[in-house]
Amino acid sequence: MADEVILLDFWPSPFGVRARIALREKGVEFEYREENLRDKSPLLLQMNPVHKKIPVLIHNGKPVCESMNVVQYIDEVWSDQNPLLPSNPYQRAQARFWVDFIDTKVFEPADKIWSTKGEVQEKAKKEYIEALKILETELGDKTFFGGDTFGFVDIAMTGYYMWFEASEKCGNFSIEPECPILMASAKRCLQRDSVVKSLPDPEKIVEFAFKIRKIYCV
Amino acid sequence: MEEKKSKVTLHGMWASPYSKRVEIALKIKGIPYEYVEEDLSNKTETLVQLNPVHKKVPLLVHDGKPVAESQVILDYIDETWKNSPRLLPEDSYERAQVRFWVSYINQQVTEVMGQVLFQEGEAQAKSIEEAKERFKVLEDGLKKDFPNKTIRGNDDVGLLDIIIIATFGSHKVYHEELGLEISLINPVNTPTLYNWIESLKELTVIKEAEVPSDRLVPFLQMYRQMLLQQAANA
């Protein structure tokens, strides 16, 4: 019986992109459905009534929500290829630790960079770079966070890599001089087939960022 | 099955519900461990060295290797000690459901509960209204997604049970002893959650891990005063 896989998503979302990448890493056929977040579909409201957010993976009619839960689910269900998490429990714990770090220490300031200005934005920029530097230390001289293979932590970060240019332009700063090693890994991730197929044009993200900045940042 | 003796140390703090989660997981799996009580105003060298990023409890150290963040630790415990009870179900979809509600409790519920406990006046009143809504969502969700939930013994304890008891186990204390006028968890508004907690409390291992209320109440009162003072000075 063929699997029915639908992804409810929003094109510039750094969280939605994680699900897209994971599905493509596993070679899973899926139907991508674009959500208008100002006019959410009845399906989205039905499948994620608690949060009403994307991404939502609908697998044979059953919804999975929250981006990294979706990625873990994809890894567990389509376990026969390209494991996204290592098999060793300690290494898995390390990967989960760093994803938690990303979703707290990178997420909060990143969000403020495009949506605020002045002192609040300056503080956010500082915290953002500090967090990226910690990640860079963790990356060390590895190709990817997982070592030689692209995996869980890299997928989580790719959502932020895709927003680097938009963040730099909104905040009027440059990431590469601060974190050259992380940037090199980011570039490797952005060249990956599953990522290239999943990411929108970076110029469109910059355009989108400025559009919403006008709304949030009066 | 590995018979090699492993050394497990938990750095925790007696009043921390996050620390409590790990304690319960270790006890329920029958994993022998050494407990190190951390004074959070004077952290041990070990804690700072082994959890340099956050310097927080709980921290699990297994044969010298540190694992930090309570959820990461719980997954690690389940994946390393594969004996019963398994903390996550076998089925991938059921696992996703458990993770969803664990996330909801961690993100939406604990935040608002903290606000209710440590605010006053209008701010607290507003938080109470928000809390009632979120507890309703949780109640409805648990009823819908876990309709056949029963706790007969330790084998029925999983990740969600641990999160529930560690986070909400002391709820009566908040209502009865901290002067909180409303009870957020009760048989009328949240019967599923209320009964779930009561069933877990029947288990010996849970009773043994319970934080004594004669210690918890003065601690929470002191902590509340401290936070109210900080808010006033801000």
ipTM of the modeled complex: 0.94
Helices (H) and strands (E) in chain B, counts: 11, 4
The pLDDT value given to residue B4: 62
Q: CA of B106: how far to CAs of A8, A50, B26, in Å? A: 24, 14, 20
B125 CB near a chain A CB, below 8 Å?
Answer: no
Last residue of a domain, one of B36, B51, B80: B80
Q: Rounded to whole angstroms, how far apart are CA atoms A72 and A88?
A: 15
Q: Is residue B1 part of a domain?
A: no
Q: How far is residue A169's CA from residue A114's CA, in Å, rounded to a whole number?
A: 9
Return the SS3 of B189: coil
pLDDT greater than 80 at residue A100? yes
- A1/B contact by beta carbon, under 8 A: no
- Token pair of A111, please? 């969000």
Question: Does a structural domain hold residue B75?
Answer: yes
Does one domain contain both B44 and B100? no
Q: Looking at beta carbons, which residues of chain A come within 8 Å of B103?
A: 66, 69
Based on the domain organization, do B47 and B109 belong to the same domain? no
The count of other CB atoms within 10 Å of the CB of residue A111 is 15
User: Which of B75, B93, B103 shows the shortest C-beta gap to A93?
Assistant: B75
For B146, phi then psi, to 5°, come to -130, 60
- Kindly state whether residue B192 falls inside one of the protein's structural domains: yes
Q: Is the dihedral of CA A190, A192, A198, A201 positive or negative?
A: positive
A93 interface with B at CB cutoff 8 Å: yes
B67 interaction partners in chain A (CB closer than 8 Å): 90, 93, 97
B74 and B122 inside one domain:
no
- pLDDT at residue B2, as a whole number: 55
Determine, yes or no, domain membership for B3.
no
Domain boundary among B80, B102, B123: B80
Give a yes or no: residue B209 inside a domain: yes
Q: How far is CA B220 from CA B61, B105, B108, B162, in A?
A: 28, 20, 21, 21
A204 to chain B nearest CA, in Å? 31
On whether both B117 and B221 belong to a single domain, the answer is: yes
Q: Does A28 touch chain B (CB under 8 A)?
A: no
B148 inside domain: yes
Q: Nearest CA to CA, how far is B104 from chain A (Å)?
A: 9
- Other CB atoms within a 10 A radius of the CB of residue A10 amount to 17
CATH number of the domain that B108 lies in? 1.20.1050.10
- Scanning every residue of chain A, which has its alpha carbon at the shortest distance from the alpha carbon of B95? A73
Residue B3's pLDDT is 53
Distance CA B54, CA B223 (A): 21
The pLDDT value given to residue B177: 66
CB atoms within 10 A of CB B75: 22
**Total number of domains constituting chain B:** 2
Phi-psi label, residue B61: left if phi above 0, alpha if psi -120 to 50, beta otherwise? beta
Nearest chain A Cα to B136, which residue?
A50
Q: CB–CB of B73 and A93 under 8 A?
A: yes
Same domain, B153 and B46: no
Distance CA A120, CA A114 (A): 11
Q: How far does A201 lie from chain B, in Å, by closest CA?
A: 31
* Beta-carbon-side half-sphere exposure of residue B124 (alpha carbons within 13 Å): 14
Q: What is the mean pLDDT of residues A159-178?
A: 96
Q: What is the pLDDT along chain B (234 residues), one digit of tens a residue?
A: 555 678 999 999 999 999 999 999 999 999 999 999 999 999 999 999 999 999 999 999 999 999 999 999 999 999 999 999 999 999 999 999 999 999 999 999 999 999 998 898 999 999 999 999 999 999 999 999 999 999 999 999 999 999 999 999 999 888 776 677 778 999 999 999 999 999 999 999 999 999 998 999 999 989 999 999 998 887
Structure tokens at A136: 């860079």
Q: A124, A109 in Cβ contact below 8 A?
A: yes
Give how far Cα B59 sits from Cα of A4, A92, A140, B35, B45, Å: 41, 16, 23, 10, 13
Whether residue B52 is preceded by a cis peptide bond, meaning omega within 30 degrees of 0, is no
CB contact under 8 A, A69 and B96: yes
CATH number, position B49: 3.40.30.10
Contacts of B56 in chain A (CB under 8 A): none
For residue A97, give the nearest of B72, B96, B103 by CB distance.
B72
- Domain assignment of residue B86, yes or no: no
Domain that holds residue B200: 92-233
Look at residues B80, B107, B124 and tell me which one is the last residue of a structural domain. B80
Asked if A38 is an interface residue toward chain B (Cβ–Cβ < 8 A), one would say no
